[in-house]
Structure 1
Amino acid sequence: MDMEACICREDLSPARMKSKPVSAGICVSQRKLRQIQDPIYRLLKQLHKVVYITQLPPATRHDVKRRLVERFKKSLFQFGSDPRNLKVELSKLVQGSSELMDSGFHSFAGGLRFNEDSGDRLREGVTYEQMQGIVEELLEDCGYYEATHSREADKRSRPCSSS
């Protein structure tokens, strides 16, 4: 919308009303605007992390945690899954819900233990909170955060190209 066609409270003087064309629209002072958070951004960011882990080269050793993340991603896109289910599952993951994940994870993780000394067991299944921790741990281990920070720094240091 052309800003000239917009009427602001400051523009209600008789001299200005005559000189500017009027059209339907809303004009808001910059002082009244604030940054908002896109609620879907957090879900997409979490999905990106999960997909990133599943796209890593195969581990040299059998990695239970990676298999759990791969299994989670597969469950998000399995036959019969829909966008609503994807949103619900990612929301629970982002919130770190203490709810147990789908029963398929219970049967998969039921006999597995990460580290008995630390008490990090999965006998009862995997919660969304545990899965979130697993995702973050795997990302730290593979250098995800160093790579993303260096890409952001590169973007800031390079002038934008107009293509």
Structure 2
Amino acid sequence: TGAAFNLGVLLANRLDPPDLNEARNAWQAVINIGASNDVDAVLGWAALALATLDALVGDMTRAAELLDLAEQHGVQSAIAYKATLSSDPTVRAAAVQKLGESPNDPDALNFLGIVSHRAGEPAQALQYWLRSAELGDALAPLLLYTVRNPTLPGRP
């Protein structure tokens, strides 16, 4: 499962251009393998990666389901990330404030970028994702590439 997760990272981060479809497939394979072998940590992080991508492209229902799965498998911060997807502006604002207190957490920065992107603030989203990438996050370059290429294959 670690190899499949790393393959998703490779496909998302190291190829030029990144391959969104194949990265998604690799991370989904980790979830499938993890569900049958009880590999909690890897399954949780793969679910978080897929949730991030789904949130970016607007599939909030699937993103929320994947964040629930991530939380069930040890990604405690998934609860806060899920709150950023809320249709309730008060819940969303509280989540944004909480995540804003973690300026060195790449996953928090990725979700702050998604909130900014959805709010029509592309420059702010870009800053969050660039900072996440600077911190070594493997998913941030794929988020940046996906936003810059709206016809990218693999987008739902």
Tell me, yes or no, whether TM beats 0.5.
no
TM class, shorter-length: under 0.3
